[in-house]
Every structure is written in structure tokens, then in C-alpha cells.
Amino acid sequence: MPPKSKAAAAAAAAEPVSVEDLFTALHRHIEAGEFPQAAKVADQVLAASPGDEDAVRCKVVAHIKSDATDKALAAIRAAERLPIDLSYYKAYCYYRQNKLQEALDILNGQEETAAVLQLESQIYYRLGRMNDCMNSYEKLQKFKVDSIDLKINIIAALVAGGRASEVQAAMKAQKVDLTTRALRDTRSFELAYNSACTLIENKKYSEAKEQLDLAKRIGKEELMVEDYAEDEIEYELAPVSAQLAYVQQLQGQTQEAMETYANMINKKSGDPSSLAVATTNLISIKGTKDVADGLRKLDRLVEKSTSPNQLQLIESLEFKLSSRQKEALYSARVLLLLHANKIDQAQELVTGLLGMFRDGVFPVLLQAAVHVREKKVPKAEEVLSRYAEKHPDNSKGVLLALAQIAANANHFQVAADSLSKISDIQHMPATVATLVALKERLNDSNAAASVLDSAIKWWKNAMTEDNKLDVFMREAATFKLNHGRDEEACQLYEELVKSYGSTEALAGLVATSARTDLAKAEQYEKQLKPLPGLQGIDVKSLEKTSGARHVEQAMKVDTPEEVKKQKAKKRKRKPKYPKGYDPANPGPPPDPERWLPKRERSTYRPKRKDKRAQVRGAQGAVSREKHDASAANASATSSKAATSAKAPEPSKGSNKSRKKKSRS
């Protein structure tokens, strides 16, 4: 076949391709996932048919699918003069570029379709506005979107918003069973993982570990089907591994958790967010150990900024970590700086956090910690008090911190007032005990008694399984008895006896009523059980004695058989002596310092070097023979005087000998 001429080829290339054929090719590229080629074909369609709405939409979507959001935005701007609404795609591009507020502003004027509500919920989740996120998901219910991804996102939003207790009800409305058996049937790795996070928030660690193991097994099987390598599987399942280690950390298995965290960090077997979580948790386990290494690890996660008080994580973390995870990371950094005595750097970091997390709790707590480290306790108390007054609904942790700081500084009134403002813990045993102790330090026994009375009143009306009314009544009775409130203590003991039948309360009632109402004491004394071993004791003769001695052990009456056994003497055995030892002539006692090294004994005398024998230089030098002769004459004349002098104290050794000793 003869080759085509250049003219024929040019004519063939110049032949126009029909729009239908171009759309066919466009559809074929989209179905095959060849989005860059689809964008090129869309340009050909627009060249043949300018302003075609379908071609414009296909071009924008193809660029988005190719992760070319800049090209997608350029195509959207080029089509602004056309009567085509591309606002949703523009908002999605801004979302992909982490321009979240711009994306949200565009969606605010849009009709609430299923796609718009889903994108809006994702933006709210990224911004940490979990309540708004859940509102968007609730609006989605009317569209009846039956998607497993939607259910996974709802669980994630509830957990991130601190509403993990609502997950079961929300999933029940979606007809989703979150038991381990049901999750095993769904074969959804993400659903099992998010369900485990819910259990962690609800402090059900054993069940959470079981579902995390299930999520890891399902994820591994899915990735193996897709021919992922072993290291790639480990990378993809890094979030599950980090969460498993976190559960171990919460269960007290710190060594296993540390090994998992360290392995992930050293091998870099995980996405940046999982490695950041592992780093923060590892630092929290180590505490003050190896502070410098912890700071080096955190420095890799923080972006260096030239402007002061401007904080930002590295690009791969800034929009992937949740608000709580960022708080934990920054808090760990501030605490490490304080332990490293880098107070100026800690103060600078806290100032930046106060600007980033406005009205947040954790920057205020860190600021107070810095002031305490600087020994500026009044300033720390002022910072915490100001925040508690401004945000009364979100100041529980702040008030607890204020109470602790004030108590450590002996500001007992401030500590008591702070604890009293936390209404939901006033009945808890730890709170009541702390408040009573603080009131006693303030010499206000009436206020301490009022705290106990309020707690008793609360527990009387409480409908809980773990009711602590008897504990509080017993402690209140003891307190009032110690502070001279005998009648009130007697009433509490009597109520304890009638309600719980406590033997201890009965004894306390008899002892207390003996001071106030003797008849009542005799009445209840009859209910006391007799103590064993007191039947053969003559009380009248016991009263005539001068007094009883305190005996640590309880009184015990020996039986006749036991008396006989006590009288039976044990046969004495002769002691065994070393070979050749005569006990009759033991000789001088052994040296008590025989186990010490010679240089540590009191009789040790270090050898001295005779420096006088050395001859230095030629001019004015003395020969060794003359020096020895003069030294002999001097020693002979001084020996007579030395016989009458007192014996010197044992030498402790020269400086050189002590240096040798310390080096050994």
C-alpha cells in the first residue's frame, strides 16, 4: 500500500470531528478514570461548541478528579460570563485547598441539596464546629441518603464534638448495629474503627480493643486483596495501630504502648497525623524523662515562623489534626519547655496559643502554669478567676486548677470558693473531703458540717446503684463527734443503725449517747454482741486495779493443752564453731575493719615520695649524698624530742591518695 502524502494527512487532520463523537470519547475517558484526557477532550468540545454547559461541567470535574484544583478554579472563572451555576464546584475547590471560610461563605447562599449539606458538614468538621456539623447531618436525614460513609462521618462528628454518648441512639435511628458481631458482617474497616473510638470515649476499653482488632483484621484483608505490600498495609493501618497503643496506655500497659509508638516513629510507618499522635502520646508516657529528645521530636511538627506569636504546624498536619489533637501537641510542648527551664520560650508559645485559640480553656491553663513556674501565684489565680467569670459554663477545669494552685499556696479561702462553684461535683467524696479539710484549715467547723449535711441530703435523694449515703453519714458522725456536736452525731449513728444495721455504727451510737442520753445508751448496749474471751473476767476486781496496760494484740485465753505445750522446753543444741576454734580461749577479737579495702582502713598509711631528693637545676643545687646526710642528722636530733610528744592522729591520706580513691 503506498504511503499517504502529506497533503492527504493534513486534509484528514483538518476534517472536523463531530460533537457527538467528542462526547463519546469524553464519556469513554471518564468511565476509564482517565481524567486528564477527559479535560483535553472537553476543551475540544468547547472549541467546537463554545459555552456548552455539559462540556464546562465535565472539564471542571475532570480537573477536580485529577487533583488539579487550580485548573478547575481557572475553568470556573472562565465560565463566569456564562449562565451556568458552578458555585458548588468552586466551594469544593476552596475546601480542597483548605480555604474553609471562603468555601463556607459560598455555600451559605446555596439551596440545601444533599451534596451541599454533605460538603457543608465536612467544612464544619474541619473547622471544629461539631454542633453545626451535626445540624447539617440532621438536615440530610430528609434526603434519605443511605450511605455507609455518611454513617461513618456522623459517628466521627459526634465523637469529636464530645457527644459520644449519643452515638448509639444516632446509629439506632440509622438502623446500624455497632456490636462486634454486626460489624464483622458489615466488613467496614472505617465503621469498626469509629465505633471503637466511641467506646474509648465512653471508657469501655476492653470492648474498644476488640473492635480495633477487628478493624485491623478487616483492613488488612481488604488491602491484601488489592495487592498492597506489607509495609504499605502497615502505613495504611497506622491510625488503628496508634489507637490500639492508646488503649493499652489507658489500661496501664505502658511498656507495650511505648514500643508501638517508638516503632511507628522510628520506621515512619504511618501518615503524618498518626505519627504526630504517636509522638505526643509517647512524650506523655515518658513525662520528664529525656526532655530534650521530646522537644526535638515536637520541633519537627511545628512550622518555623518569622513573625512573633504566630504558630502553625507543618502543612501535612495543619488541616488533618483535630482541635483536641492540636491542643494536646501544643500543651506537651509548653510543659516540656517548662521542665527544661525555658520559661521565656514557653511564655512566647502560650501567647501565640491565646491568639490562636480564643476563648479556649487549655491556653489559659498553660498560661497559669507558666506563672506558677515563675512563682507568680497571685497572677495565675487572677488569670484563672477572670476566665471563670467570663465563661462560667466552660470553666470546670479552670476552677479545679485554681483550687489546686490556691491550696498549694495556702490560700484556703480561694480554693474553697473555687470548688464550691462547680455544682456537679459537690456530692462527690473527693470534693466533700477536700472542702471539709479546707474549712477546717480556716477554723470554720460550721461550714465544714454544712458541706457534709448537703452531701448527705443529695445522696438521700439520689437514685443511683452505687449509693454512698452510709459512707457520708458515718464520716459526718465522726466529724461531729470530734467537734463536740454529740447530739447530731448521735442522730446520725442511730439512723445508720436503723437503716443499715452497722455494728460499727451501733458501737458509735452507744459511746455517743452515753454522753447525752444514758437510757438510750443502755437500750442499744443490749444489742451489742458479747466479745469472745470476756466471760471469765471479774469486772469488779478489774475496776479495783490501778489500770490496764495497752496490748497490741487481742486478749486470748489459752487452753490447758496449749499451756502444757508452752511449758515443754525445747532441747537446746550446741552452737557450731569453725574448725580449730576453741570457745574457752577465743583469743583477741577480729579486726572490725577486716572487710574494708586497705586504703579505707583507719591504720592505712599512704607511701610518700621523697621530693627532697630531687635536684632541680645546676646553679645552687645540692648533691643527693649531702642531702641524705643532713636529713639523717636532723632525724637523729628530733627522735629524742618525739619520744615525749603525744602520738599523732591517724592520717586520712594525702590529696593524691583521695583522688586515686575517688577514681577507683
At residue 275 the predicted structure's pLDDT band, cuts being 50, 70 and 90, is very high
Decide: 64 and 96 in contact? Cβ < 8 Å. Answer: yes
Q: What is the mean pLDDT of residues 462-469?
A: 80
Q: What is the mean pLDDT of residues 622-650?
A: 43
Residue-wise pLDDT for 95-122, tens only, equals 988 888 999 999 987 888 988 998 999 8
pLDDT at 320: 81
What amino acid is encoded at 368 in this protein? A
Smallest Cα–Cα separation from 405: which of 373, 429, 361? 373
3-state secondary structure of 376: coil
- Asked whether the CA dihedral 347, 351, 356, 361 is positive or negative, the reply is positive
pLDDT at 664: 37
pLDDT at 58: 92
- The rounded distance, in Å, linking the Cα atoms of 121 and 144 is 16
Q: Which is higher by pLDDT, 139 or 414?
A: 414
pLDDT at 10: 46
Provide the 8-state DSSP code for 410. Answer: T
Q: What is the mean pLDDT of residues 307-336?
A: 80
At residue 551 the predicted structure's pLDDT band, cuts being 50, 70 and 90, is low
How many CB atoms are located within 10 Å of the residue 82 CB?
A: 13
* pTM score, whole prediction: 0.66
pLDDT at 12: 45
Q: Which of 199-208, 237-246, 571-580 comes out lowest in average pLDDT?
A: 571-580
Q: For 232, what's the count of Cα atoms within 13 Å in the CB-facing half-sphere?
A: 9
Residue % of the chain over a pLDDT of 90 = 35
pLDDT at 259: 94
Asked if pLDDT for residue 573 goes beyond 80, the answer is no
Decide: 418 and 453 in contact? Cβ < 8 Å. Answer: no
Measure Cα distances from 664 to 447, 599, 601, 657, 658 in Å: 64, 11, 16, 11, 10
Structural domain boundaries of the chain?
439-526
Q: What is the mean pLDDT of residues 464-492?
A: 86
- The rounded distance, in Å, linking the Cα atoms of 125 and 156 is 9
pLDDT at 520: 80
pLDDT at 577: 77
How many CB atoms are located within 10 Å of the residue 386 CB?
A: 12
Asked if pLDDT for residue 340 goes beyond 50, the answer is yes
Asked if pLDDT for residue 441 goes beyond 80, the answer is yes
Residue-wise pLDDT for 148-163, tens only, equals 778 888 888 888 877 8
pLDDT at 1: 44
Smallest Cα–Cα separation from 311: which of 279, 350, 338? 350
Place of cell 436503723: 498
Place of cell 460550721: 446
Place of cell 482488632: 213
Identify the bridge partners of residue 302 per DSSP, sorted by sequence position: 313
Decide: 427 and 415 in contact? Cβ < 8 Å. Answer: no
Q: What is the mean pLDDT of residues 224-252?
A: 92
At residue 442 the predicted structure's pLDDT band, cuts being 50, 70 and 90, is very high
Q: Which of 436-450, 496-510, 520-534, 614-628 comes out lowest in average pLDDT?
A: 614-628
At residue 185 the predicted structure's pLDDT band, cuts being 50, 70 and 90, is confident
- Asked whether the CA dihedral 269, 273, 275, 277 is positive or negative, the reply is negative
pLDDT at 235: 92
Residue-wise pLDDT for 60-95, tens only, equals 999 999 989 999 999 999 988 888 889 999 999 999
At residue 641 the predicted structure's pLDDT band, cuts being 50, 70 and 90, is very low
Q: What angle do CA 381, 382, 384 make, to 5 degrees?
A: 65
- The rounded distance, in Å, linking the Cα atoms of 413 and 430 is 18
3-state secondary structure of 604: coil
Q: What is the mean pLDDT of residues 250-262?
A: 93
Q: Enter the C-alpha cell of residue 472.
A: 457520708
At residue 412 the predicted structure's pLDDT band, cuts being 50, 70 and 90, is very high
pLDDT at 347: 92
Q: What CATH number labels 439-526?
A: 1.25.40
pLDDT at 553: 52
- The rounded distance, in Å, linking the Cα atoms of 192 and 212 is 7
At residue 611 the predicted structure's pLDDT band, cuts being 50, 70 and 90, is low
- The rounded distance, in Å, linking the Cα atoms of 329 and 338 is 15
At residue 319 the predicted structure's pLDDT band, cuts being 50, 70 and 90, is confident
Residue % of the chain over a pLDDT of 70 = 82
pLDDT at 2: 47
Asked if pLDDT for residue 637 goes beyond 70, the answer is no
